[in-house]
């Protein structure tokens, strides 16, 4: 079995099979949503992904039966799954989900320019200082682009087109690397001078996804060129920080702690950027090296039900920007296996390599 897409799909299949069997579905939030979006992208690209489609349908329907809330950027991301399902069958319930989430994207109050408070009106959003996070380029911007084009919503497309430059204006360091968050109070990045790998991976992977939709929609040539410039500047800053074995690290400038999700996200974004013609073809080989590095760690293990299954280790868990702590806040986040965001990143990278 030499195909990275086949291998990561088998890992994903294990997750899907367990949740379908038990009915214990993952939460309605960003990680499982990215997993579902990537799985549906794989299903659209080729056969043998029926279980992924069944899981995505079951996941959405499970949460619809219990009621869903969109009150943060992280809860915009499930719209990617509903949009992917709508594209496959145009079910009215999936369109309704997308339209409810699109209303949040259009109407949520802005702090500066097109930037929303990442944590919105959620409970934690009322406690945590108002802030924008680099995560929102993926969690908020990609849905606006995908559903904007699919539904012909010019306002959503305009919002998607504006996101990268707005976020770069407050989060991109002069070096080209990106901070994790920016606080409205004090108007400063938090933590300053700390370059979280997965956050930079969100940028590299999200920008081509947004550009692809804008290019297909037409009429956004200037915005696409601006986004392409941001992607090139970011990639030029990240490239020297790739380890000799293909990996990137939890903190990009501290290479000792290799981490799978950032490595896969950068691979996905570089491969996609080359395919779109906005990145130099020289990025393809280091992207493939990153893809192969993560792929080589997929292994058999004994699962919680005693069955042998494929598994992807080395994925750091959810991470929040912590003021006054800096680098240590990222280094102490535990590594785990089969986190949904890591599987999504590797699936997208494998898809782009094909």
Residue 328's alpha-carbon distances to 63, 251, 253, 254, 319, in angstroms, are 35, 10, 13, 12, 12
Instruction: State what percent of residues in the chain have pLDDT above 90.
Output: 87
Task: Give the count of domains, the chain.
Answer: 1
Q: What is the domain range of residue 15?
A: 4-352
pLDDT value at position 2? Answer: 66
164, exposed or middle or buried, with CB in 10 Å at 0-12, 13-18, 19+?
buried
* Nearest C-alpha neighbor of 196 from the set 240, 124, 133: 133
Q: Is 226 left (phi over 0), alpha (psi -120 to 50) or beta?
A: alpha
pLDDT at 354 over 90: no
pLDDT value at position 106? Answer: 97
Instruction: State what percent of residues in the chain have pLDDT above 70.
Output: 97
Residues 6 or more apart whose CB falls under 8 angstroms from that of 332 comprise none
pLDDT at 1 over 90: no
Question: Strand runs (DSSP E) across the chain, as ranges?
Answer: 110-112, 115-116, 131-133, 181-183, 188-190, 249-251, 254-258, 299-302, 308-311, 315-316, 335-336
pLDDT at 48 over 80: no
Question: The tokens of 65 are what?
Answer: 């039966």
Residue 288's alpha-carbon distances to 1, 37, 105, in angstroms, are 17, 22, 34
pLDDT tens track for 80-100? 999 999 999 878 999 999 999
State the average pLDDT over residues 310-337: 92
pLDDT value at position 301? Answer: 76
Alpha-carbon distance of 303 to 7, in angstroms, equals: 17
pLDDT at 308 over 80: no
Residue 247's alpha-carbon distances to 6, 11, 197, 261, 310, in angstroms, are 21, 20, 11, 10, 21
State the average pLDDT over residues 158-174: 97
Q: Which helix (H) or strand (E) holds 70?
A: none
Give me the CATH number covering residue 263: 1.50.10.10
Are 351 and 6 in contact by the 8 Å Cβ rule? The answer is no
State the average pLDDT over residues 122-131: 90
Gap between the terminal Cα atoms of the chain: 15
State the average pLDDT over residues 281-307: 89
pLDDT at 325 over 90: no
Alpha-carbon distance of 233 to 58, in angstroms, equals: 40
Alpha-carbon distance of 225 to 243, in angstroms, equals: 29
pTM, 2 dp: 0.96
335, exposed or middle or buried, with CB in 10 Å at 0-12, 13-18, 19+?
middle
Residue 225's alpha-carbon distances to 47, 174, 212, 228, in angstroms, are 34, 20, 12, 5
pLDDT value at position 204? Answer: 98
């Amino acid at each position: 079995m030499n195909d990275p897409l086949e291998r990561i799909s088998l890992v994903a299949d294990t997750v899907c099979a367990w949740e379908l069997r038990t009915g214990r579905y993952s939460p309605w939030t960003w990680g499982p949503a990215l997993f579902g979006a990537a799985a549906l992208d794989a299903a659209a690209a080729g056969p043998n992904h029926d279980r992924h489609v069944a899981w995505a349908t079951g996941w959405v329907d499970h949460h619809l039966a219990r009621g869903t809330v969109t009150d943060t950027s992280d809860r915009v991301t499930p719209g990617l799954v509903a949009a992917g399902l709508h594209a496959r069958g145009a079910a009215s319930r999936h369109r309704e989900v997308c339209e409810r989430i699109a209303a949040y994207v259009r109407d949520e109050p802005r702090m500066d320019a097109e930037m929303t408070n990442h944590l919105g009106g959620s409970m934690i959003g009322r406690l945590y200082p108002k802030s924008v996070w680099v995560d929102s380029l993926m969690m908020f911007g990609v849905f606006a682009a995908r559903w904007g084009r699919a539904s012909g919503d010019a306002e959503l497309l305009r919002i998607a087109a504006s996101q990268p430059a707005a976020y770069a204006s407050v989060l991109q360091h002069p070096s080209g690397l990106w901070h994790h968050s920016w606080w409205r109070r004090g108007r400063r990045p938090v933590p300053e001078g700390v370059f979280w790998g997965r956050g930079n991976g969100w940028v590299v992977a999200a920008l081509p996804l947004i550009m692809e939709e804008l290019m297909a929609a037409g009429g956004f040539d200037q915005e696409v060129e601006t986004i392409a410039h941001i992607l090139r500047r970011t990639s030029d800053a990240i490239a020297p920080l790739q380890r000799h074995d293909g990996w990137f690290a939890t903190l990009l400038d501290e290479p000792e702690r290799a981490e799978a999700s950032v490595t896969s996200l950068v691979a996905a974004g570089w491969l996609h950027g080359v395919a779109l013609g906005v990145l130099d073809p020289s990025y393809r080989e280091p992207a493939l090296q990153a893809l192969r590095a993560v792929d080589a760690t997929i292994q058999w293990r004994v699962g919680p039900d005693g069955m042998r299954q494929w598994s992807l280790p080395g994925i750091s868990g959810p991470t929040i920007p912590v003021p006054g702590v800096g680098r240590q806040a990222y280094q102490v986040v535990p590594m785990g296996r089969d986190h949904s965001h890591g599987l999504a990143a590797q699936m997208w990278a494998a898809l782009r390599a094909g």
